[in-house]
Amino acid sequence: MTNREGRFRFTTIKPGPYPFDGGTRAPHLHFQVTGRAEARVTQMFFAGEGLNGQDQVLQCVPRRRESMVADLLPAPPGEDPATRLVQWDIVLRRG
């Protein structure tokens, strides 16, 4: 669930690459988002991954491919310095 501003937060581990259909998938996370009028399934990739350029799914995105790639940011103050923060927007056009 999101808060009143539509923000969400969760903790996970960064996934690794895995074999897929004769190739290797770049590390990514899957999201299923459900709004009042629309639902979407999408994937978020990580900036700087060498496999991004070869990932079969990411390379099939015709427009705004960069919007599927998130930067790993330093840990926020008070968090374990080994952790990383990702800020990534998922937009449902009709909510």
Q: Decide if 10 is inside a domain.
A: no
- Count up the domains in the chain and report the number: 1
**Closest C-alpha among 66, 63, 37, 42 to residue 52:** 66
pLDDT at 33: 92
Q: What is the domain extent for residue 25?
A: 18-85
Question: Is residue 38 a part of any domain in this protein?
Answer: yes
First to last CA, the chain: 14
CA angle 22, 28, 31 (to 5 degrees): 115
Q: Is the pTM value of this prediction over 0.85?
A: yes
Q: What are the pLDDT digits (tens) for 4-56?
A: 888 888 889 999 999 998 899 999 999 999 988 999 999 999 999 999 999 99
